Amino acid sequence: MLEISMIDLVSVNGGAQAKAPPPNFLDQLHNSIESDYKSFVCKAAGWKGANQLANTMFKGKESQEDIANSAAAITDVCMKSKQLPADAPKLPF
């Protein structure tokens, strides 16, 4: 295995001279994808919980339309919430 000295490492891809991202770079990145991520998570939550909600409401006699309406209701509630569902993975930044 080839070893790289610290002196050589400094010159790799800018090394010590590389510019750091702006201080608010991660905040800007987070804000730019937050609404799309919330939409994705809420739609997934809607479809994940739709069968259970419809089954509870219609006592096992739910139709496919009832399940679709349940998914839409869960998605709508999620989108209006100020936070994501507890099981949703948090953005890494």
- Amino acid 35 reads S
Q: Quote the pLDDT of residue 17.
A: 63
By CB atoms closer than 10 A (0-12, 13-18, 19+), residue 81 is exposed
pLDDT means over runs of 10, the chain (93 residues): 70 62 80 93 96 94 96 97 90 79
Q: Quote the pLDDT of residue 90.
A: 85
Q: Quote the pLDDT of residue 26.
A: 83
Contact (CB, 8 A) for 57 and 66: yes
Structure token digits, residue 81? 């919430």
Contact (CB, 8 A) for 86 and 48: no
> Rounded CA gap, 75 and 55, in Å?
17
Tokens 């006592």 belong to residue: 59
pTM: 0.68
Nearest to 26 by CA among 89, 84, 85, 91: 91
